[in-house]
Amino acid sequence: MFHLFNLSLKLNGFPMKEATAEFEKIQSISDADYNEYIHSKRKEIVDYHLKSNKSYQEFIGKSSFNPETFNWNDLPIMTKKDFQKPLSERLSNGFTTKNVYVNKTSGSSGDPFIFAKDKFCHALTWANIINRFGWFGIDFNTSKQARFYGIPLDFIGNKKERLKDFFKNSYRFTIFDLSDEILEKVLLKFQNKKFDYINGYTSSIVLFAKFLQKKNIVLTSVCPTLKCCVVTSEMLFEEDKNLMERQFGVPIINEYGASELDLIAFQSRSVGTSNEWQVNSETLFVEILDENNTVLPYGKEGRIVITSLYNKAHPFIRYDIGDIGILDEKSTLKKPILKKLIGRTNDIAILPSGKKAPGLTFYYVTKSIIEDDGNVKEFVIKQTKIDTFEVEYVSENALTESQILTIEKAITTYLESGLNFTFIRKENLQRSKSGKLKQFVSLIK
């Protein structure tokens, strides 16, 4: 079979051959030498950005460091607020929006921003993803994917994503309406297509599993080619995992990632350790910090802070991702284990028509207000009644009537008409005890 997926990466300018070779080289480093690898890569990426990135120089307050006295723990913590300015002001020397990979974060923490990766760094991300999915016999060139993800509904954006799906050998189900009527059509598609794996948002896939439970159907009875299910972007609770395993008849694999960084953790394939969440130590360095930015030992709960060891286009150095977690006591530098992740769960919105939409649907709505000038700093959406929502936001300037109309139009497109939205500009937004904002909160019981 012609390898369309590999071809698509090549056509987009990602040096996969070189990145795959580098990734395999990293994996071959022994446990004994891994400490030196991590320390040298940390110094290298800090040195690079201090010399080449004006924004990071200003953030640190200097443009170089003494390698003899360099102390990693003295580096300040970066947060999403530090990226609330135009991308062009955050790129390193030699990089422009024309020669890097550019994308937007989902804003699930309430702090959306546009980011960049140099193409070799992004190729390494794909080398990592290909490696992890390969643990479970998935080949992106040949394995058919049932994809439960959002998709832009405007003509151009939709066609772009559909083209990507073609190259990824995937069929994408809409997640903007997960009523029983729609899920009947999803089930019919599984009966007629030879899917190898499911991949997508946890809450959407859980709703499908609950639908199958009501119908007393195990998915492999109608789609025997199915090998596994990979859930991502939201918290996976044990009872939901058990439900999906029963109703799908395949292993449920837990993925934790961030678009601005990389795949962060992936369920281990090892016999006897199938519930281990193996952290990506090849391209990332993950720390757990307390409220005073002190590094905590393995086994202690704290803020997840991550360094991208290879991104030269844009610094993510000691970056507070906005999640709380614990690294297992048996972790090593080469094989850290994520024992627990706290947060990252989204409510389901139930609309007047009976339609059910996962909270991440609001990512596609709020994309329309994410601007590169950094005007909108934070936002949360609250469902106060079945047809009523409040959008609380922090911005330098109030949303204009034109912007509000754009948002309302997107809401009608992605959800349904007849919904009432109130926009409330605030000085700051209330946070949870973990310090994290939840982008969507349903107050409907």
Tens of pLDDT, residue by residue over 267-298, are 987 545 557 899 999 999 999 999 899 999 99
> Which residue type is seen at 144?
K
**Hey, which of 242-256, 332-346, 348-362 has the most confident mean pLDDT?**
242-256
Q: Could you tell me the pLDDT band of residue 421, with boundaries at 50, 70 and 90?
A: confident
The two structure tokens encoding residue 241: 């995992």
* Closest C-alpha among 76, 37, 80 to residue 59: 76
pLDDT at 2 (0 to 100): 46
The token pair at 342 is: 């706290």
Please say whether the beta carbons of 365 and 393 come within 8 A.
no
d(CA 281, CA 336): 7
In this prediction the pTM is 0.77
pLDDT at residue 433 in the model: 41
Helix (H, G, I), strand (E, B) or coil at 162: helix
pLDDT at position 347, please?
59
Q: What is the pLDDT of residues 43-69, one digit of tens each?
A: 999 999 999 999 999 999 887 777 778
pLDDT at 7: 79
Q: Per residue in 62-99, is it b (16+ CB within 10 Å) or e — as a string?
A: eeebeeeeeebeebeebbbebbbeebeebbbeebeeee
pLDDT of 401 strictly over 90: no
Q: Which residue has the higher pLDDT, 271 or 172?
A: 172
Residue 83 CA to residue 169 CA, distance in Å, equals: 34
Residue at token pair 């390969």: 134
Give the bridge partners for 263, in sequence order. Answer: 257
- What secondary structure does DSSP assign to 182-237, as a single string? HHHHHHHHHHHS---EEEEEHHHHHHHHHHHHHHT--GGGT-TT--EEEEESS---
Look over the chain and give the mean of its residue pLDDT values, rounded to a whole number: 86
Mean pLDDT of 11-39: 94
Least confident piece of the model among 12-16, 167-171, 385-389: 167-171
Between the alpha carbon of residue 78 and those of residues 104, 108, 228, 292, 405, the distances in Å are: 17, 17, 36, 14, 34
Interval 233-250: pLDDT, tens: 777 878 889 999 999 999
pLDDT given at position 198: 97
Highest mean pLDDT among 179-183, 254-258, 277-281: 277-281
Task: Tell me which of 367 and 412 has the higher pLDDT.
Answer: 412
**pLDDT number for residue 1:** 41
Parallel, antiparallel, or unpaired for β 420-425 and 388-395? parallel
Nearest partner of 306 among 277, 328, 338, 329, judged by Cα: 338
> Do 345 and 256 form a contact (C-beta atoms < 8 A)?
no
Is 382 a residue whose pLDDT tops 50?
Answer: yes
**pLDDT > 70 in the chain, percent:** 89
Listed ranges 111-115, 182-186, 236-240; the one with the highest mean pLDDT: 182-186
In three-state secondary structure terms, 247 is helix
- Which conformational region is residue 372 in: left (phi greater than 0), alpha (psi within -120 to 50 degrees), or beta? alpha
* Residue partners of 329: CB distance under 8 A and separation at least 6: 298, 299, 339
Task: Specify the pLDDT at position 81.
Answer: 86
Do the beta carbons of residue 197 and residue 146 sit within 8 Å? yes
- E strand or H helix that includes residue 393: strand 388-395
Q: Is the pLDDT reported for residue 34 higher than 60?
A: yes
